[in-house]
Structure 1
Amino acid sequence: MRSALITICAAAAAGLIAVPVPAAQAASPAWDDDKGTLSVTPSTIAPGGEVNLFTDACGDARRAKANSDAFVSAAHFGPAADTAGLVAEARVRRDAAPRSYDVWLTCEDGKGKATATLTVIHHNRPSPAAPVKAGGGGTATLAEQATESSGPGTRHAVTGLVLAAVAAVAVALRSSRRRGRIGG
């Protein structure tokens, strides 16, 4: 009977931990327009960086174009190899000011349209003049800033409290079981 109670508590804790992250906290944000979806990855980048664009707003159209005040030039979309959408790459201007920029997509047939937002941030440290091509590139500083500014959030605190409660219940049940054996 008691082991069944512990099992139920553990299952409830596991269920709470497995609750999916809301769409607002998803890693790759996408914004919906009345005609389709356009996603920009990464959605936060430093000047001079490159972003990947994906859309499913164009239906059967095989080409599209995206513009933004943050881009060096217009991004030209082509068919995606593994999905039923269109993909493109765009480079962010080196002189882009740190703020949010709108990205507008127009399909070649003129029927599909979508918008997204791109945020440009500046580094507070200068980048090396001749960086080694060892991976990470310009995003290494962004990753460092993200880890410095973020810590355990509400989800982590709730998870910890649930696990602590399950552990406390298990210890209490084990102690009462042990006391019953000694007294009897």
Structure 2
Amino acid sequence: MGSLPLTLCTGLLACAAGLSPAAAHAADGQGVTVTPASPPAGSVVALRASGCSGTTGTAASTAFVSDARLGGTGGALTGQAQVRSTIGAGTYTVQVTCAGSAVTGSVTVVPQSSSQLDLPGVVPASPVAPVHAGGGGAAPLASVESRSAGPDTAQAVTGLLLAAFAAAAVGLLSARRGRGSR
């Protein structure tokens, strides 16, 4: 095949791919993309939410072990979630809540192949459910981004007093040393 027919065929394929429903959905600038789109039960998926104005969000689905925290900038949030190992094959809705708005997408869980089935007595390499490890009192502190604006008034006054005493001590020692050297 010559270069001109090859170029034309490639251009036609690119146009056909651009007219697909997935490209039309992505063109509106909002939605949730799950990669891989058809994961087996128990696998980890990457999430990307487009059209969010905030920098954080939460992805929820009955297909996931727990809600996934997403982060990012510029209207695109990313994160990971684990698909339940006990969930049946099917299509599940994924809803991302961010900055008071929500975008949705879907994930299609496929049946596990025989090579992916868990063998009795085999421990998975990573946890398959949230670990009950305590630390519940620390959760509110971890979820809030704390930024200190600087010292408060009492700390500023204390610092100024200490600096004044240090300056006075240096002045007195300099005066004493000056008198003793003559």
- TM-score, length of structure 2 as denominator length: 0.54
Partner SS, residue 22 of structure 1: helix
Gaps of 5+ in 1: 1-5, 134-184
Which structure would you say has the larger RCO, counting Cα contacts within 8 Å and 6 or more residues apart? 1
1:85 to 76, 86, 89: 76
Aligned CA distance change for structure 1 residues 18 and 73 (closer, same or farther; 3 Å): same
2:108 to 119, 139, 163: 119
* Identity among equivalent pairs (%): 25
| Code of the aligned partner of 1:71 | F
Question: Of residues 35, 59, 73 in structure 2, which corresponds to 1:66?
Answer: 59
Which ranges of 4 or more aligned residues in structure 1 deviate by more than 4 Å? Answer: 29-35, 128-131
Query: Which letter does structure 2 place at the counterpart of 1:22?
Result: A
Distance 1:118 1:31, change over 3 A: farther
Note the 1:3-152 alignment, pairs <5 A: 10-19=3-12, 20=14, 21-23=16-18, 24=20, 31=25, 36-59=30-53, 61-79=54-72, 85-107=76-98, 109-110=99-100, 112-127=101-116, 129=119
Distance apart, 1:119 and its partner CA: 0.6
Bigger mean CA deviation after superposition, 83-92 or 47-56:
83-92
Q: Deviations over 1:55-96 (max 9, x none)?
A: 22212x11111111100000111126xx75211100000111
Radius of gyration: which is bigger? Answer: 2
Size of the alignment, in residue pairs?
118
Structure 2 CA distance for partners of 1:18 and 1:33, relative to 1, 3 Å? closer
Deviation at 1:49, TM superposition (A): 0.3
Give me the whole-angstrom Cα distance separating, in 2, the residues matched to 1:116 and 1:125. 28
Give the C-alpha shift of residue 125 in structure 1. 1.3
**Alpha carbons of structure 1 residues 104 and 35: separation in structure 2 relative to 1, 3 Å:** farther
The 3 A distance-change label for structure 1 pair 104 and 34 is farther
Write the deviation string for residues 132-170 of structure 1: whole angstroms up to 9, x where unpaired.
Answer: x9xxxxxxxxxxxxxxxxxxxxxxxxxxxxxxxxxxxxx
Whether the 8 Å CA contact 1:37–1:56 is kept in 2: the answer is yes
8 Å Cα contact 2:59/2:97 also seen in 1: yes
Counterpart amino acid of residue 39 in structure 2: I
Helix, strand or coil at the partner of 2:59: strand
RMSD (Å) for aligned C-alpha atoms: 3.3
Match of 2:146 in 1: none
Q: What letter matches 1:118 in structure 2?
A: V
Partner Cα separation in structure 2 for residue 41 and residue 69 of structure 1: 17
CA 1:68/1:13 → structure 2, altered by over 3 Å: closer, same or farther? same
Change in Cα spacing, 1:73 to 1:103, as seen in structure 2 (3 Å) is same
